[in-house]
Structure 1
Amino acid sequence: MPPSPAFSPAPAAPPPAFCVDIPLLPESAAGNALQFIDLLRSANLLARLRLGAQAPRMAWRLVDAQGTPLPPGSGPLASCLAAYFPEQEPAGTLAQALFIPSLHATDIPAIRAVAARHSALSRRVGVALDAGHQLLTVGNGAWLAAHSGRLNGCHASLPWFYVAGFKRDFPAIHHSLGRDWSEDGPWLSCALPQSLHLLAIALVRHALGDALAATCESVMGPDHQRARAALQANAQQHIPATRDSTLARAIDWMEAHLDAPYSLPRLAEAAAVSPRTLLRHFQQELSQSPLDYLHGLRCARARVMLEVTLESVPSIATACGYADPAAFRRIFARYTGMAPSEYRQRHALRAPRRRWRVEMK
């Protein structure tokens, strides 16, 4: 009886994302939203570097005052942000935090008018706080949060020029004087955008744990002492160059031998590990096998050749490591969703040969 094939358990699914809703009003400071999303993306990158494909992650969603996700075509601001950050969460995702940017308003009466126009958002803040969600505000965005009626007795950080007017409107809310940011229960507030990274770190601590928050804190904030120490250690050659990883060695070899027949033992030898270890690294870090990754590299080359050359499909198959054109067609369709001939018809950058001219007239 032939031996049964080795069983490789499917990788565990990563934990669900911690989602933050970001209401965008016509008066919202879009730069706050951009900066905050960039900080969340940095936190995700750091988490993945430490924990691999199974790392928890922060997510975000652009919404209106009622909490409805903004479609890309709902205005220039939403279109810009959606194009820049296309990976926002879908409509059905349950948010666990609310981030309110500061408002473009000329003075305190104008801020009051904005808050009155968007009372639906203040009501939503109240619902979110009642559900135990986190609330984050920047600058005068605190007016919208305070109108929820759920923050009496809490402390908040505001720019000095808003403190007196805010105190008149909300006498039961206290001020964290002399502090750039404040955390009081579910409410995280900062006076100015320059302290946004502190809000992001505090939210990461709440959502992903102390260890990842500490990593973010060491990376996101300026640390001149560490910079000087790193330069000194580098000058004295105490910090060596980063060594190649197992995955990097394997991928480099595959890219250099794209048209060679696939051999797991040969690839493992190039990566200086056993085949079993190589399979484990690819599964843990990329959630796919080395062969699947190689098919992706080969199809990327095939797309380029279909776009810019007039080579036949069998010739392209050979150049991409497939001896059987039929197998190439099946794999290419699986990875791109269309046959090679259809892909060429849609994406070719070369004119058909019959249109070529020897010289321009």
Structure 2
Amino acid sequence: MPTAKTALPSCLNVGILWGHGSIASTAAATVDALRAMNMLAAMRPGGAQPVVRWFWLRMPQERDAAPPPVPGADLGPEALDVVVIPGWLVPTGPQLREISQRYSQHFGAMLRGHLQRGGLVAALFNGSSLLAHCGLLARRNAALPWVFAPSIVLQSSESGAKTADVAEVIWQRERTWQRDGALWTTASLQDTLAAMLDLLAQTPAAELAQAASHALLFDPQRQLTATTAMETPTGHPLAAGALEQARRWLQDHRNEPYSLQATARAAATSPRTLLRWFAQVHGETPQDYLHRLRMAQAQALLQTTYLTVDDVAQQCGYNDTGSFRKVFTRVAGVTPGAYRQRFKLRTSRKQWLGRQGLPGDDGRV
């Protein structure tokens, strides 16, 4: 693979279990994350080939179960880097246990070997039932869907007894998704994307996963700073209170030179009192909060526009580009130029003409 400013990882192979009753939304959300990464990789120098491939892993007796209409192909499990269990749409715990038992007979040895080789596994929604039946959740922290949690915990306990492992799964009741070592589990369908992108951020394709998460996941600060001409998302004043008034002032005037005195006047308090209480409640000074707002705006502009670094600095309220670069590098860990190369979400202008799509959108090889 050709070398460029941003080196692309070797191809990552992702296997997705599929059969009768599999949940299509979690499988499709997984593929959407992988497609987004390939799209972003195609925008990088030397990114003509996809960096992620995905394949359907089906039960031999369920070949008639059609997977979602997204690109994919069969592949031997020995070549996989990630295995995804999308869960099953079933009404009761006993039915889930029956499915898990049946799938463990075919995929149990593969899953154990996959983890022993250092592979990663995402068990989405009640897909963690299969891990429990295979004895892979004992002593593990896991996020479980409440409606199936008792059945999954029981399965883990029973499987642990068979394998001389005395501890059952540790149900993290307040977590929407959980990582424990090489295992990712989720408690609901809407947590699929966040958990999958976090998993993919632990692979050689980490930078692409992080860039995709910037575009696909909700980020409150980016929502506020994405377009300088727009108000906050509601367009209405925030709740009363000196600190909220100060925070709203900083949001509305983030492109202007910072003034502690002006911020304190907006909050109807003294600068000294504002500094003390702002730090106590928010854990940072008003100026640090302003820098974070500006950096979120700068990151969005670097990812989605063709503005020069000087122009980005100006739009974010920095008259001195050198100062902007120092603050950006301190916050982001890289220079603005390196950040743009690593996380850009727009293709080059020359690709706009005569192109209907981008290479790398298809997972096939």
Q: Same fold (TM over 0.5)?
A: yes
**In structure 2, what is the Cα distance between the partners aligned to 1:76 and 1:89?**
14
Structure 2 matches for 1:298-313, cutoff 5 A?
Answer: none
Shift of 1:137: 0.7
Q: Which residue of 1 aligns with 2:204?
A: 208
Alignment of 1:1-361 (within 5 A): 11=2, 15-53=9-47, 57-65=51-59, 74-75=63-64, 77-78=66-67, 81=68, 84-86=69-71, 88=73, 94-118=79-103, 119-171=105-157, 172-233=168-229, 242=306, 245=348, 247-248=350-351
Structure 1 unaligned blocks of 5 or more: 1-9, 255-284, 287-361
Deviations 1:41-63 (A, max 9, x none): 11222233345416772211012
* Deviation beyond 4 Å, 4+ runs, structure 1: 10-15, 87-93, 233-236, 238-246
- Aligned to 1:140, the other structure's residue is in SS state helix
Give yes or no for contact 2:122–2:196 (8 Å, CA) kept in 1.
no
> Normalising to structure 2: TM-score of the pair?
0.55
Determine the C-alpha separation between the residues in 1 that align with 2:123 and 2:95. 18
Quote the Cα distance in structure 2 between the aligned partners of 1:167 and 1:92. 27
Which position in structure 2 is the counterpart of 1:323?
none
Distance 1:52 1:199, change over 3 A: farther
Question: Alpha carbon RMSD of aligned pairs, Å?
Answer: 3.6
Say if 1:23 and 1:63, in contact at 8 Å, map to a contact too. yes
1:146-189: CA deviations, max 9, x gaps?
A: 22223321111111222223222223211122011011011011
- Cα deviation per residue 1:293-330 (whole Å; 9 max; x = unaligned)? xxxxxxxxxxxxxxxxxxxxxxxxxxxxxxxxxxxxxx
For residue 242 of structure 1, report the CA deviation from its aligned partner: 4.6
SS of residue in 1 equivalent to 2:83:
strand
Counterpart Cα distance in 1 of 2:19 and 2:348: 46
Does structure 2 conserve the Cα–Cα contact (< 8 Å) formed by 1:112 and 1:143? Answer: yes
AA aligned opposite 1:98? V
1:206 to partner: Cα distance: 1.6
Q: Provide the rounded CA distance (Å) in 2 between the counterparts of 1:33 and 1:122.
A: 20
Larger Rg: 1
Identity %: 22
CA contact (8 A) 1:43 1:204 kept: no
CA distance in 1, matches of 2:27, 2:348: 35
Would the aligned equivalents of 2:97 and 2:151 in 1 still touch at CA under 8 Å?
A: no
Change (3 A) 1:229 1:112: same
Cα distance change of structure 1 residues 20 and 92 upon mapping to structure 2, 3 Å threshold = closer
**8 Å contact from structure 1 (residues 14, 54) kept in 2:** no
- Indicate how the Cα distance of structure 1 residues 241 and 180 shifts in structure 2: closer, same or farther if over 3 A, else same: closer
> Post-superposition shift, 1:40?
0.9
The residue type equivalent to 2:66 in the other structure is: L
* CA–CA separation in structure 2 for the residues paired with 1:43 and 1:192: 23
Following the alignment from structure 1 to structure 2, what is the Cα–Cα distance between the partners of residues 221 and 247? 28
Task: Please tell me whether the aligned partners of residues 19 and 65 of structure 2 are also in contact (alpha carbons under 8 angstroms).
Answer: no
Shift, 1:76, TM fit? 5.4
Q: Any conservation in 1 of the 2:123–2:186 contact (CA below 8 Å)?
A: yes
